[in-house]
Structure 1
Amino acid sequence: MDYSKSNIKKFNDSHFLNSLIDFSPLYFLSIWRDIPINQLSSHVSPKVISDLSKKFRYLVEITKFPYQCVLSSTYYLYMLSKKHPELKGYGSERNLMVMALMVTNKMLYDNTYSNKTWSEISDIPLDELNIMELEFCGVLDYNLNIDPKNYGIWENYMRTLVAKFESDSVRRLNNLKTSRAFIQEKLNTRQKINNPPSPVTPITPVDEYSSINRSRKHSLY
């Protein structure tokens, strides 16, 4: 029974992590550009969204971070936007995303990746990365410890947002499938109108070596 519960938890954690990876880049863009998530596609180019999403997934997967690490990184960016709203829209979301993951890694684990490694996997020059880290921590007043109570509240909040994101994604996909089916039906109907069936039943040619003829021929031998 314990193994069963453990496997279910692992599946749930893995599913949540995967959904969180999809959702987090959109959340970063939303809070940093002050645009509702459901309006991002109208204000941000698809390439920006796609590039940020691919980079975030790459970083999380190559570092093998659990969902707790990803959650903490979103919390840091949220606190950054609340403490210093004047910084919104300034700088690169990609760099902020890297900083949030890097600082989270150092806060949660004793054995962490070096800045040199982060520079290599993020494609940010090491000197620039070091400066960005100091600025990121300084803006947060080096108050990087997350209170367990606040973390619990944050996790529940993010799980709610991710669940809504999943639900909206499924609904959009279903709507897209319905639209495609409707369009295909219209095309099929139009094709039938443009190409009506022939009023004369076509005559099927009879092979002289039909089964009857063949049986008669064979009987001669």
Structure 2
Amino acid sequence: MSQLWHWFVAAIEAGLEWSRAVTGSAGLSIILFTVLVRLLLLPLTFSQMRSMQRMQALQPEVERIQKRYRNNPQKANEAIMKLWREHNVNPASGCLPLLIQFPILYGLFLALRTFSSGAFLWIPDLRHADPYFVLPILAGVTTYVQMKTAMTVTQPQQRTMLVLMPLMLTFFAWSFPAGLALYWVTSNVFSIVQQIWMNRQQPAPAPAGKGKRGHERGIS
């Protein structure tokens, strides 16, 4: 495992050095590296987005379930989970693009220790924290917007995640090298644009009527 991790970090270092040679800038190299990573993750991301679209299409049925079992939250949650399973919906899929990047973030953190960085915009050195706290704030704001555009918030756990995740990322970006915050902000902007583009496409079909009938048979 240690050798595999060493190879992973070495690959990130090589990617940063290559992108720096192409762009001539340490900051632009991280932005280019981020875009390349997100392009590699596109197949998984599109699959998750389709799942979220199905969840949004099923939202009226979810609201009917919540109204029907408003005095029995446990029964309502069970019925909603059953409905989502019937339509192959994963309620946590909106968070997966964030979670899957944590190993990349840690690898980037290690790679930045040897990366020949320099000044970028207002930041003297991307290996150190942003002295003006602009990137940490942008990291938190863009994380919130990214999650908000990707999630249909119906459950208390989702509302908690929608608040905690941006706060956590703001704290990390405040404490860690600015290069990490730049990666995260770029990744979030990529995700937001990608989600907006997906939302403008034809929504994934979700047979609400069929889901309703199947659901009613399951809970009758």
TM-score above 0.5: no
Which one scores higher on RCO, CA 8 angstroms, separation ≥ 6?
A: 2
Larger Rg, first or second structure (1 or 2): 1
Q: TM-score, normalising length from structure 2?
A: 0.23
Q: TM-score, normalised by structure 1?
A: 0.23
